[in-house]
Chains A and B, each alone.
Chain A
Amino acid sequence: DTAVSQTPKYLVTQMGNDKSIKCEQNLGHDTMYWYKQDSKKFLKIMFSYNNKELIINETVPNRFSPKSPDKAHLNLHINSLELGDSAVYFCASSQDVAGGPRETQYFGPGTRLLVL
């Protein structure tokens, strides 16, 4: 009955590979997010989708491509992985977008990506 789940929890891969991280929420929320927490512990938003539509796209290399097949899922595909992509990636969801009455974001447990 996990609210926001991510797979895999850990991902170790070589530079240059392509990998995907999956996220699912069972809260019935309309908005989903990807955040990156780097080695300096900054937690930064990367993307946000509302009703499957991309509404936030921060300055992220275009090697990162999110995909929302439906409102309950937001996947993150990363091409040509680089050492600097090593980080913890958190998925989150909320009923409304930030600024809405039900904007509280619920986070998944994170995916720890290590690029060697």
Chain B
Amino acid sequence: DQQVKQNSPSLSVQEGRISILNCDYTNSMFDYFLWYKKYPAEGPTFLISISSIKDKNEDGRFTVFLNKSAKHLSLHIVPSQPGDSAVYFCAARTTSGTYKYIFGTGTRLKVLA
């Protein structure tokens, strides 16, 4: 049962344009959401997070939006750069028992020069 879904396996964007990566979740009890970025042959690295009490968090070129009623979050990258080409994983934190992260399957972003 996939509680965190990234329905777009890949996305291509022109350099300088906006990249929008989407993530949907099914468990309304998730209280914290994260985005990780992964380059080939490397482990995921933390990018940005958002608490469920907020609807937006911004860090430089990266902004995460959370729509709790739709159980949807998105990552915006503006402007996109070729170095942003990577796989982006969305994750959500559970709140029952010992907290843990549930990851999506990732979206491969390719930024074209």
Contacts and interface: CB of A to CB of B under 8 A. Distances in A.
Interface in A74-105: 90, 92, 97-99, 104-105
Interface stretch (A14-22, A35-43, A64-72): A35-43
Interface of B: 2, 36, 41-46, 49, 89, 93-95, 98-101, 103, 105-106
Main secondary structure of the interface of B (DSSP, over half): loop
10 contacts: A4-B43, A48-B100, A90-B44, A92-B43, A99-B93, A99-B95, A106-B45, A110-B41, A110-B42, A110-B43
B98 A56 contact: yes
B93 A98 contact: yes
Contacts of B45: 106-107
B99 A98 contact: yes
Question: Taking each of B43, B49, B94, which has the highest tally of chain A beta carbons within 10 Å of its own beta carbon?
Answer: B43
Contact of A104 (B41, B46, B94): B46
Contact of B98 (A44, A55, A92, A109): A55
B105 A40 contact: yes
A109 B46 contact: no
Nearest to B97: A56
Contacts of A115: none
A66 B95 CA distance: 24
Given A48-B98, A56-B98, A41 B105 contact: yes
Contacts of A41: 105-106
A105 B42 CA distance: 14
Nearest to A58: B100
A112 to B, nearest CB: 9
B49 to A, nearest CB: 8
A98 B101 contact: yes
